Structure 1
Amino acid sequence: MHVLLVEDDEPVARSLRRGLTRYGFEVDWVTTGAAALAHPEPYDVVLLDLGLPDTDGLDVCRALRERGNVPIIVISARSDETDRVVGLELGADDYVSKPFGVREVIARIRAVMRRAQPRAEAAAAGPDRYGGRLTVDRKAARVRLDGEEVALAPKEYDLLAFLTEEPGALMSREQIMEAVWDANWFGPTKTLDVHVAALRRKLRGAITIEAVRGVGFRLEIADGESGHGAS
Structure 2
Amino acid sequence: MPFLDWLVVIGYLAIVAMIGFIASRRSDQGNAFFLAGRSIPPWAASFSVVATVLSAATFVGMPQQAYRGDLTYMVFKFAGLPALIVVGIFFLPTFYRSTRASIYGVIGERYGSGAGAAAGVSFLIGRLLASGARLFMAAIAVSWVLFGSAEPGPLALTITMVAIGTSLYAIAGGIRAIVWTDVMQAVVAAVVGVVALVVLWKLIDRPMDEVVAMLQAGG
Q: TM-score normalised by the shorter chain: which range applies?
A: under 0.3
Where relative contact order (Cα < 8 A, 6+ residues apart) is larger, the structure is: 2
Larger radius of gyration: 2
Higher helix fraction (1 or 2): 2
| TM, length-normalised to structure 1 | 0.24
TM-score (norm 2): 0.25
